[in-house]
């Protein structure tokens, strides 16, 4: 299957999944409003950090060796289940100690946090593992169709019970439970379709060593990336409190990050092609084309946000989300930088240059932290948005510098806008073989 054909399939089916994810976000936000939805997303941010630390970023090494077919996929399927159980048990101990012994909150509330953390962490791990395996088999349809249908079911559930007196706990519990359900459904589907149930086997000592070494190398980069990407939440909460302003900023950030969906979809195709040693010149040319396209798209999106953003956000999310527009607009230049950096990071990782991602992320994080300290206290969520945009751009400049060393090109190629770029996109979308 050609690189363009893989892009086509990935865009179609992952696009469907992310549209349903946006629908869940809208329904959840309209019911819980800025403060309630902000609390949920802030909580998942905390759980994501626990997941990253407890899992040792094993999914990073797992992704690399699955994409290159270096370790048997049936072994990796069973390893996914075992590793999820190990991490789930670890997280249960951490959460029990943190909320029960350290925070000393009531038992019922602590049990709720236990439920939320376990369903979120185990669900995300299973989703990460088994989507990688499906994508390694060039199957973008089934995993995204299954997850998308479950998202639609969740949105219908939230909408149908929103007016009940006890709706709030049901909605929150359902939101977290559906994450775990998605992971379980993906695991069952892959194991069943690929006959993994017939033979139980795990990576041997050598293979596990390879997984662990790569994962630990990637852990530093993933931690830095996590903090660069989301540390502004903590600064906003620290300086501006836990109310509607935090909810507005997290929603603005999440909406801006939705722009990253397409680059992330493309990165899921770029990584296997470079890790597998195939079509690397096509990938390099495609990144330059995508740079030009993304620059144009972000420009149009900024103009549309400036003209229509404020009334549109209030109409979609409700009146409590009346401070989204300006932070969203200020985040967009940084999101363009991150969109390109996501593609370049996949390119570097596929070549085994994980160190480049670690250094670049460290540069971006340092810039974000310094500017957050200087700006968030006085300028609030606008200062946080500006700080993040500048930090993301610093990472991009570093990544482009090294990309030019690996894949030789002229700087002017990044700005040679052409209708041929859009014809390439059209050819991908209408099922034609496209040439760059």
Q: What distances in angstroms separate CA 275 from CA 16, 126, 213, 347, one per listed residue?
A: 26, 22, 16, 8
pLDDT digit string, tens, across residues 91-115 = 888 887 777 667 677 777 777 888 8
Q: How far is the C-alpha of 393 from the C-alpha of 398, rounded, in Å?
A: 9
Q: How far is the C-alpha of 362 from the C-alpha of 319, rounded, in Å?
A: 38
Q: How far is the C-alpha of 121 from the C-alpha of 91, rounded, in Å?
A: 8
Q: Which helix (H) or strand (E) holds 435?
A: none
20 has pLDDT over 80: yes
Q: What distances in angstroms separate CA 176 from CA 89, 112, 115, 134, 278, one per listed residue?
A: 17, 11, 8, 23, 38
Residue the block writes with tokens 């069973």: 78
Mean pLDDT of 177-181: 94
Contacts of 350 (CB under 8 A, 6+ apart): 67, 270, 271, 272, 273, 274, 275, 276
Q: Which of 139, 1, 5 is nearest to 434 (CA)?
A: 5
Percent of the chain with pLDDT over 70: 88
Q: Which of 259, 250, 382, 389 is nearest to 327 (CA)?
A: 382
pLDDT score of 246? 85
pLDDT score of 28? 86
| Alpha-carbon torsion angle 312, 318, 323, 329, nearest 10 | -30
Q: How far is the C-alpha of 345 from the C-alpha of 353, rounded, in Å?
A: 9
Mean pLDDT of 274-281: 48
Mean pLDDT of 133-162: 89
Q: How far is the C-alpha of 330 from the C-alpha of 334, rounded, in Å?
A: 8
pLDDT score of 436? 47
Mean pLDDT of 395-407: 87
pLDDT score of 67? 66
Q: What sections of 137-204 are H helices per DSSP?
A: 141-161, 167-193
CB neighbours of residue 365 within 10 Å: 21
Mean pLDDT of 124-148: 89
Give 200 or 425, the one with higher predicted confidence.
Answer: 200
29 has pLDDT over 50: yes
- Count CA within 13 A, CB hemisphere, residue 73: 22
Give 299 or 106, the one with higher predicted confidence.
Answer: 299
Mean pLDDT of 8-12: 74
Q: How far is the C-alpha of 342 from the C-alpha of 332, rounded, in Å?
A: 15
The structure's pTM equals 0.73
Percent of the chain with pLDDT over 90: 22
- Quote the mean pLDDT of the chain: 82
Q: How far is the C-alpha of 25 from the C-alpha of 31, rounded, in Å?
A: 10
272 has pLDDT over 60: no
Mean pLDDT of 41-51: 83
């Amino acid at each position: 299957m050609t690189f363009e054909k893989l892009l086509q399939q990935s865009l179609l089916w992952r696009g469907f999944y992310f549209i349903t994810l946006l629908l869940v976000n809208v329904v959840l936000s309209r019911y819980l409003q800025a403060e309630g939805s902000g609390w949920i997303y802030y909580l998942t941010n905390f759980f994501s950090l626990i997941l990253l630390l407890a899992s040792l970023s094993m999914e990073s090494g797992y992704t690399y060796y699955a994409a290159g077919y270096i370790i048997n996929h049936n072994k990796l399927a069973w390893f996914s289940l075992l590793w999820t159980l190990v991490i789930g048990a670890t997280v249960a101990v951490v959460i029990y100690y943190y909320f029960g012994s350290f925070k000393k909150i009531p038992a019922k509330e602590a049990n709720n946090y236990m439920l939320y953390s376990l369903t979120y962490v185990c669900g995300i791990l299973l989703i990460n593992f088994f989507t990688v395996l499906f994508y390694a088999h060039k199957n973008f349809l089934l995993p995204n169709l299954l997850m998308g249908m479950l998202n639609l079911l969740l949105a219908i559930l939230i909408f149908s019970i929103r007016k009940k007196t006890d709706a709030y706990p049901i909605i929150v519990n359902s939101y977290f439970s559906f994450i775990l359900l998605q992971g379980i459904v993906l695991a069952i589907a892959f194991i069943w379709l690929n006959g993994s149930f017939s033979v139980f086997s795990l990576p041997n000592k050598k293979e596990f060593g390879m997984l662990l070494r790569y994962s630990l190398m990637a852990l530093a980069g993933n931690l830095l990336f996590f903090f660069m990407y989301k540390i502004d939440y903590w600064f906003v909460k620290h300086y501006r409190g836990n109310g509607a302003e935090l909810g507005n900023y997290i929603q603005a950030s999440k909406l801006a990050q939705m722009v990253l969906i397409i680059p992330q979809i493309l990165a899921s195709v770029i990584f296997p092609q470079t890790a597998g040693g195939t079509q690397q010149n096509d990938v390099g040319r495609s990144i330059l084309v995508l740079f030009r396209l993304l620059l144009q798209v972000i420009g149009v999106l900024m103009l549309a946000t400036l003209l229509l953003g404020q009334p549109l956000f209030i109409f979609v999310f409700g009146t409590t989300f009346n401070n989204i527009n300006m932070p969203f607009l200020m985040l967009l230049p940084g999101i363009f930088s991150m969109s390109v950096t996501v593609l370049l990071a996949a390119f570097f990782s596929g070549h085994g240059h994980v160190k480049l991602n670690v250094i670049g992320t460290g540069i971006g994080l340092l810039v974000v932290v310094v500017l957050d300290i200087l700006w968030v206290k006085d300028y609030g969520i606008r200062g946080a948005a500006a700080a993040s945009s500048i930090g993301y751009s610093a990472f991009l400049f570093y990544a482009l510098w090294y990309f030019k060393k690996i894949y030789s090109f002229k700087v002017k190629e990044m700005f040679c806008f052409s209708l041929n770029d859009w014809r390439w996109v059209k050819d991908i979308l209408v099922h034609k073989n496209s040439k760059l």
